[in-house]
Every structure is written in C-alpha cells, then in structure tokens.
Structure 1
Amino acid sequence: MFLSTLEIQSIIEHSFLPAVCTCNMEADQSLTIRVCDCMTGKVDLVATHVPLWTLDSPHAIATLVADMRQEIEAHKSIHPTYSI
C-alpha cells in the first residue's frame, strides 16, 4: 500500500490529538515532527530526519507514533510539569 506524503502527515498529526503536531517535509525526503502540548504550547518532542520511505504502511506509522508517545511519556516522568 502506498500512501501519499500528505496522507502520512495527516495520519501522524491526527494521531497526537489533542496535542498539536506538525510534520514538515525536508529536502532529503525525511520528516521533522514536532509535538506540542495544546494547553501550554510547550514542545514535548521534536523528531528530525524521520525517513519517509520507512512509513510505507499503517503499521509502520502506528509504530512510529507509539514510539514517539512512549518517548514523550518517559520525558514527562523525568521532568514533570507542575502548576502553581
């Protein structure tokens, strides 16, 4: 199954809702993916040089999103956000 770049970007961006996620195509055909907290605007994760050609199936995209979510959660447990 072949997905267009726009479809891949849309799937990834929607997978992180309600967080704000943006995907940008780079000149080397890789993606830069930025995930920000929707309430604070704080950047939770930036993934660079994600090879677009590896995202060739829904399973590959789901695996990427799951890995990124795991990384975000691991970072939050190390640096918890406190509100006063």
Structure 2
Amino acid sequence: MFLSTLEIQNIIEHSMLPAVCTCVMEADQSLTIRVCDCMTGKVELIATNVPIWNLNSPHDIAVLVADIQQKIEAHKNISSTLAS
C-alpha cells in the first residue's frame, strides 16, 4: 500500500496533536519534521532527512511517530533533571 506524500504529512501532523507539527518535503524527497509545544511555541524536536520512501504503510508511520514522541519525552526528562 502506497500513501501519497500529502497523506503521510497529514497523518504525522495529526498524530502529534496537541503539539504543533509541520512536515516539509525537501528537494531530496526526504521530510523535515518540526514539533513545537502548542502552548509555548517552543521547538521540541526537529527531525531532518526522514526518508519518505520508507513510509509505505500506516504501521511505518506509527513507528516513526512513536520514535519522535519517545525522543521528545526523553529530552523533557533530561531537561527536567538538569533543572532540578
């Protein structure tokens, strides 16, 4: 099953709610994904060179979204530990 680029971007962006997520297709056909906190606007993560050709199914996208969410949470945990 092949999804269009717009479908992939839409699924990723909606999966990150309530955070603000934008996906941009780059010239090399990879994605840049930017996730910001919806309340503060603070950038939580920027993922570059995400290979869109590896996102062939909803499962592939779900794995990517879970990985991004895990990285954001890990960064938050490190930041809160350093602030203590």
Structure 1 unmatched runs, 5+: none
TM (norm. structure 1) is 0.94
1:56 CA displacement: 0.5
Tell me how far apart the structure 2 counterparts of residues 17 and 67 of structure 1 sit (CA, whole Å): 15
Equivalent positions of 1:57-76 (< 5 A) are 57-76=57-76
TM (norm. structure 2) is 0.94
Secondary structure of the corresponding residue to residue 75 of structure 2:
helix
Tell me how far apart the structure 1 counterparts of residues 24 and 5 of structure 2 sit (CA, whole Å): 10
Give the structure with the larger helix fraction: 2
Amino acid at match of 1:12: I
Secondary structure of the corresponding residue to residue 17 of structure 1:
coil
Tell me how far apart the structure 2 counterparts of residues 75 and 17 of structure 1 sit (CA, whole Å): 18
Equivalent positions of 1:1-84 (< 5 A) are 1-80=1-80
1:40 CA displacement: 0.3
Structure 2 unmatched runs, 5+: none
1:66 CA displacement: 0.1
Secondary structure of the corresponding residue to residue 50 of structure 1:
strand
1:31 CA displacement: 0.1
Equivalent residues, number: 80
Tell me how far apart the structure 2 counterparts of residues 60 and 27 of structure 1 sit (CA, whole Å): 22
Tell me how far apart the structure 2 counterparts of residues 45 and 24 of structure 1 sit (CA, whole Å): 14
| Identical columns (%) | 79
Note the aligned Cα RMSD (angstroms): 0.4
1:79 CA displacement: 0.6
1:73 CA displacement: 0.1
Tell me how far apart the structure 2 counterparts of residues 30 and 56 of structure 1 sit (CA, whole Å): 13
